[in-house]
Amino acid sequence: MNAEAFWMAAGGFLLAFQPGAELKTPRWTGILRRCLFETVELFLHTVFLTALYGQAARLYPDVKIGECFPLYYALGAYALKILRQKEGVFLAASLILGLSFSGMDLSLKESAFRAARLASGTAIYALLLLCAQRRLVFSRQPASFEGLPQVFLLAAFLALALHSLEGLFGF
C-alpha cells in the first residue's frame, strides 16, 4: 500500500458520489463512457499542469517556483474547468490528485507516469463504486444524506477488495 492509494480513494469517492448532484446515479450506459473520459481528462489535467510547472522550474532555477505550486495548480485547474465546462466535483478530484504532487521534485517522465497511475486508479475506483452503489444501495434517487453510511461502507469494502487483489493500483 502506498500514499497514492489514499488520493485515488478520495478522488474516486467524490467522483462516484457527486455531492453537488444530490446523489444522482447515472444510467448504466453513461457510466463506462464517463469513466473513460474522466480518466483521460484527469490524466491530461495533471500532466499538462505539472509539465508546465516543471518547464517553469527549469527556465528559472533561481526562483523557488515549487513553493508556489498549490496556487499555480489551483489556478490552472480552474482555468481548465472553465474551458472544459466541468462540474465542481471534477475540479475537487483534479485538485486532490494534482495537489498530491506538492513538495515533490519529479521529472516530466516521472510526473506523467504518476499522473497516469493516479488518474486510472481514481477512475477505476469511481467506476466500481458507482456500479456497486447502483446495484446495491440506490435503486432510486435518494434524499440528502440517506444512503451515505452505506456508500462509505461500500467504499471501504471496495478498498479492501482492491488491497486483497495483490494491492491493485497501490491499494
Partner 1 sequence: MKTVFPRFSDDSATRVFLACLPALFAASTPAEALVCGLWTAGALGAAALFFILTGFLFPVKFRETALYLWLAVTAQIFFRPAGLHPVLIVSVFLLIPRRLFMEGAKAGVIRQTLMRIVFFPLVFVLLGAFHEMLGERLRVWSFQLPAGGYLLLAAAALLWQNQPGRKIKRSAQ
Residues engaged in binding partner 1 (CB under 8 A) = 1, 5-10, 13-14, 17, 19, 67-71, 73-75, 78, 82, 88, 91-92, 95-96, 99-100, 102-103, 140-146, 148-150, 152-153, 155-157, 159-160, 163, 171
CA distance 111 to 120: 14
CA distance 127 to 123: 6
Nearest CA to 135 out of 153, 149, 156, 154 is that of 154
* Residue among 47 and 129 whose Cβ is closer to partner 1: 129
CA distance 68 to 81: 20
Nearest distance, CB of residue 34 and partner 1, angstroms = 20
Q: Measured between alpha carbons, how far is residue 10 from residues 17, 74, 129 in Å?
A: 11, 17, 12
Residue found by looking up cell 478530484 in the block: 93
* Residue among 36 and 164 whose Cβ is closer to partner 1: 164
Nearest distance, CB of residue 13 and partner 1, angstroms = 6
* Residue among 5 and 35 whose Cβ is closer to partner 1: 5
CA distance 34 to 159: 21
Nearest distance, CB of residue 67 and partner 1, angstroms = 5
* Residue among 55 and 141 whose Cβ is closer to partner 1: 141
Nearest distance, CB of residue 58 and partner 1, angstroms = 21
For residue 153 the three cell numbers come to: 461502507
Nearest distance, CB of residue 48 and partner 1, angstroms = 17
* Residue among 36 and 87 whose Cβ is closer to partner 1: 87
Residue found by looking up cell 440506490 in the block: 138
